[in-house]
Structures are given as C-alpha cells and as structure tokens.
Amino acid sequence: MPKPRLLIVDDSVVIRRALTAAITRESGVAVAGSASDGRVALMKIPLLHPDVVALDVDMPDMDGLETLTAIRQIYPRLPVIMLSVPTPRGAAVTVDALTLGASDYVTKPAAAVPSDDELRILGDELISKIAGCFPNVLRERKHDSARVARRIDVLAIGLSTGGPQALMDLIPRLPADFPVPILIVQHMPPVFTKLLAERLNANARIAVAEGSMYQVLAPGHAWVAPGEFHMAVERDGDAVRIVTHQKAAENSCRPAVDVLFRAVAQVYGPHALAVVMTGMGQDGLRGCEQIRAAGGQVLVQDEESSVVWGMPGNVARAGKADQILSLSELGPEILDRAWRDRRHPLVAAV
C-alpha cells in the first residue's frame, strides 16, 4: 500500500512541529497535515483523508475523548493513536480512550519545554505505533479439528495494541458464575493497568483486579498483570497463586504474555486455554507453543476484528491456533470450552 498518511492533532505547536519533523525523516510515513484542536481535526479529516490520526488527550474547547468519540461515529476503522502525558489524570483519560476505541497511545514529555532527546523519542515511538497499524500480514484461517478439547481450569489472555477495547467487549460477556479463573496480560505501564482493571471491573459481571503477589486464584475472577511486572502462577497445595516479578523483559515487554503462558502450561498442563488477541509483535507465540505441547488449547482473534494482527497472526501462521475467531465469536467459544466436561449449576439443579 502507499505510505500511511498521518494527521497530527495537538494544541502544542512544539509537539506538532517535532512530530512533523520526525515523520518527514521517516520514509515509510507521510504527514497529511496537522490541527490544533479537535474541531479543526474533524473538518480536516474528510479533506485530507488520513490513514491514521495522532490525537492529543488534553486540548482546549474539544478534548481528545470528545474528538475520538466523534471520529469513531463517522470513521469507525480509522486508526487513532492517543498522545498522553505520564500523569495520573493523563493515564486515566488514556485508558478511557483505549476502551472507547483508540488503537494505541504514546506518552508525551511532561516538561513544558521538552528536550530534543525527548522529542526524538516521542517521534520514534509514534512511528513504531503507526507501523504496527499497517503490518503486512497473510490472510489465512486454520482450524485444528483433530485435537481433543479437554476440560479447562484456567483462561489466560494476552493482548497489546487495541487490547483495552477488545477486553471491554469480551470480559463483560462472561457470566458471574464463569467456572475458571482468568489471567490477563495487556501491554501497559504502571497506573494504566490498575485503571484498566478498575474499568473492566465496573463493567463486568465477574470481579476484575490488578494481579498481586500470592493472590489465590478463584473461578469468576480475573486479574490483570501489573505494569512493569511479569505475572506468573505457581501451585501451592490445592491452590494456585499469582506470582509477580521483575525479571528481564521478554519480547521487549514487561509484563510479557510468554511469561504468563509458560507458567500456565507448567501448572495447568492440558487444562489450560490461552487466547491471543489484537496486538503488535509476537509476544505469546512461544507461550502458545508450550501450552499446545502440554496438551492445552489456543484461540486467536481474527485479522478482520483485530486492530493489529501481529500477535494473533504470528500464532496462526505458526499453526498453533485451534481456532481463529472474530471478537464477537470469542466469547461464546470461550464459554463453550469453559463448561465442557463440567456441569453448569442450572443443569445440575434440574
């Protein structure tokens, strides 16, 4: 495809100029234009036809959330990358934006006058996120019908770019009596993961919290790996507990999906179900290989419903997916596998 065209929306002229300069140096992306606020951006989109929008969270008159909501109503598939400051308020608004449909985010320098190095890093990170929105991926679907689907005792989910919105769609679909614990690795920094867990908890019928050391797993509960910590599990007698640690990043990520999936494969063996959803990169691929080797099951989100078909696409192309499903299909399939070989309370009461 031609170079992706970027519209930069930020009330700071320093940020607009810095990002324009960074993108201009990058041969793979073109700057379609810029806007100083949300209202101007909405007028420019139909004129400039950008392929992706970089949108500041905090702007006067019409802020980032209002602008994102308007963009999603008119252009539901247009990738939007939020520009956020690393403050508690900035993190909270960014998580809201991700659950409302933003594709990803980058953090801006907190200083009023950013240094040249800070601006260079911001530009590099934005370019990386734009590249993730336009991967060259194969369109293929696989279904391994010969594998036996055993009872599952845990659900492990890994995601990245586009993940908060996907989780906000999936997790509220699960009933309060969901029969197994759920462990989630979403690539996010500290504060963001706590806020994401709180948003999910407020909208779900199951209980959702940020993972903590030695927490005992229980059915009908979900835990989100805390930012900057890997999350694993270990068996303690009849119980299974969460273990968090800060060992080296894997796949340039901490938390990493591979760390969780590897531990789940060791503790649960053939009774693990892993789900890899929208995200950039290949984190989760090695973990899925180990889950499959242990006899467990793997589902991946399809390309059409993913913001980025990197993580799930890599698992699918490696032949490690039992099924490739759309976001709307994942919930029913997870429920079916969760209750397989296990009597639902309503059935047991008959």
How much of the chain, in percent, has pLDDT values that exceed 90? 74
pLDDT at 211: 97
Instruction: Summarize the confidence of residues 109-116 as an average pLDDT.
Output: 81
Q: Determine, yes or no, domain membership for 14.
A: yes
Domain match, 18 and 113 both:
yes
Question: Do the domain assignments include residue 147?
Answer: no
On whether residue 149 sits in a domain, the answer given is no
Query: Which range of residues forms the domain containing residue 9?
Result: 5-133
| One domain, residues 303 and 257 | yes
Task: Identify the residue whose tokens are 């419903």.
Answer: 305
Residue 142 lies in a domain: no
**Same domain (yes/no): 40, 120:** yes
Label residue 252 left, alpha or beta by phi (over 0 means left) and psi (-120 to 50 means alpha): left
**Residue 143 maps to a domain:** no
187 included as an active-site residue: yes
Given this model, what pLDDT does residue 346 score?
A: 44
Question: φ and ψ at 187, to 5 degrees?
Answer: -65, 100
| 172 plus 299 within the same structural domain | yes
| Extended beta strands in the chain, E state | 5-9, 30-35, 52-56, 80-84, 104-107, 154-159, 182-186, 207-210, 221-224, 230-236, 239-245, 272-276, 297-301, 323-325
**pLDDT value of residue 119:** 86
Average pLDDT, the chain: 90
What percent of the chain is helix, strand and coil (3-state, nearest 5)?
40, 20, 40
pLDDT for 1: 58
pLDDT-based confidence at residue 141 (cuts at 50, 70, 90): very low
Q: What is the mean pLDDT of residues 256-269?
A: 97
- Where is average pLDDT lowest: 15-19, 120-124, 278-282? 120-124
Question: 302 and 190, same structural domain?
Answer: yes
Tens of pLDDT, residues 263-317? 999 999 999 999 999 999 999 999 999 999 999 999 999 999 999 999 999 999 9
CATH number of the CATH domain containing 276: 3.40.50.180
Is 307 among the domain residues?
yes
Please tell me whether residues 115 and 244 are part of one structural domain: no
| Residue 126, domain CATH | 3.40.50.2300
Residue 268 lies in a domain: yes
Would you say residue 348 has pLDDT above 90?
no
DSSP code at position 171: G
Q: Is 84 a catalytic residue?
A: no
Pull the structure tokens for residue 78. Answer: 């247009």
Q: Which two tokens stand for residue 162?
A: 């586009």
177 and 231 co-located in one domain: yes
Query: Can you read off the two tokens belonging to residue 205?
Result: 């019928």
Domain boundary among 70, 103, 133: 133
Residue 302 lies in a domain: yes
Average pLDDT over residues 93-105: 92
Q: Please say if 230 is a catalytic residue.
A: no
Domains in the chain, number: 2
User: In terms of domains, do 122 and 170 share one?
Assistant: no
The predicted pLDDT at position 129 comes to: 86
Pair type for strands 239-245 and 297-301: unpaired
* CA-closest candidate to residue 56, choices 90, 6, 100, 17: 90
| Residue 344 in this model has a pLDDT that exceeds 60 | no
Residue 144 in this model has a pLDDT that exceeds 60: no
Chain CA centroid to CA 153, Å: 23
Write the pLDDT tens digit of every residue in 33-55.
999 999 999 999 999 999 999 99
Q: Given this model, what pLDDT does residue 138 score?
A: 31
- Considering 56, 96, 283, 322, which one is annotated as catalytic? 283
The pLDDT tens digits for 167-187 are 999 999 999 999 999 999 999
Q: Model-level pTM?
A: 0.80
As a whole number, mean pLDDT of residues 190-208 equals: 96
Q: Are residues 160 and 113 in the same domain?
A: no
pLDDT band at residue 143 using 50, 70 and 90 as cut-offs: very low
Closest residue by Cα to residue 7 from 36, 26, 27, 28: 36
More confident residue, 85 or 258: 258
Note whether 41 and 179 are same-domain residues: no
Average pLDDT over every residue of 152-173: 96
Does residue 120 sit in the same domain as residue 203? Answer: no
Looking at the structure, do residues 38 and 125 belong to the same domain, yes or no?
yes
Exactly one of 103, 187, 258, 302 is catalytic; name it: 187
Taking a C-beta distance cutoff of 8 angstroms, is the pair 127, 23 a contact?
yes
